[in-house]
Amino acid sequence: MTSLVVPGQPLGPVNSYIPGSGVHIFNGQIIASLVGQVITTPSTSPTTPPTISIQKPVLSTDEETNATLLPEVTSTVLCRITRINPRQATASIFIVNNHICGDEFQGVIRVQDVRLTEVDKVKIFNSFRPGDIVRARVISLGDQSNYYLSTASNELGVVMADSEVGDPMYPINWREMKSTRTGVVEERKVARPF
């Protein structure tokens, strides 16, 4: 038996198998306790039934993907805005090029890197708020503690945000988002949806 099972799924009667790891017995049935692949190990004795166990799935065996993933210049990242001030927004990077980071990295979106045009009119408070999820591009490795990020492209900017009262918002144009519950409109530098 080599199939994928979920917790609570019956695997067979107790008299047909010896329970191994990842299973338990309930009402005379062997029940899966884990998500994984069923492994049936034949017995060395002809009178003893085979052992049934669950092997957890291996998510990745490629050492390159298990290594710490570092943002590089031109990498597209997803980050959460943690702080804002009039000159910049500080963000915590958690996804690099569609791969989840093992560690979070700090990034900074400076006021001059928010938009390509009308840079002198950009206000950080009208572009981002703490808690916003932002798609950005790494433009420089920055200083020793922060990567420099940019949202100066149509496909870059806020992808998820909550309103001031905590309601989810959806984009209505490239610089405004609307609350799903109250209908209140707030300014953001919105990413173009894919």
- What is the count of structural domains for the chain? 2
Note whether 10 and 90 are same-domain residues: no
Mean pLDDT along residues 126-137? 96
pTM of the entire structure? 0.65
Position 4 scores a pLDDT of 72
Note whether 71 and 156 are same-domain residues: yes
Note whether 14 and 86 are same-domain residues: no
In angstroms, the Cα distances linking 176 to 11, 82, 192 are 53, 20, 12
Beta-strand relationship, 157-160 and 99-110: unpaired
Does residue 193 sit within a domain?
no
For 24, the token pair is 């338990």
| Backbone torsions φ then ψ of 71, nearest 5 degrees | -65, 140
Note the pLDDT tens digit of each residue in 62-109.
455 545 688 999 999 999 999 999 999 999 999 999 898 888 899 999
Position 66 scores a pLDDT of 46
- Look up the domain containing 48 and give its range: 4-55
Note whether 93 and 123 are same-domain residues: yes
Does residue 110 sit within a domain?
yes
List, in order, residues 6 or more apart from 84 with CB less than 8 Å away: 90, 124, 125, 128, 129, 130
Distance CA 120, CA 118 (A): 5
Note whether 170 and 76 are same-domain residues: yes
Does residue 182 sit within a domain?
yes
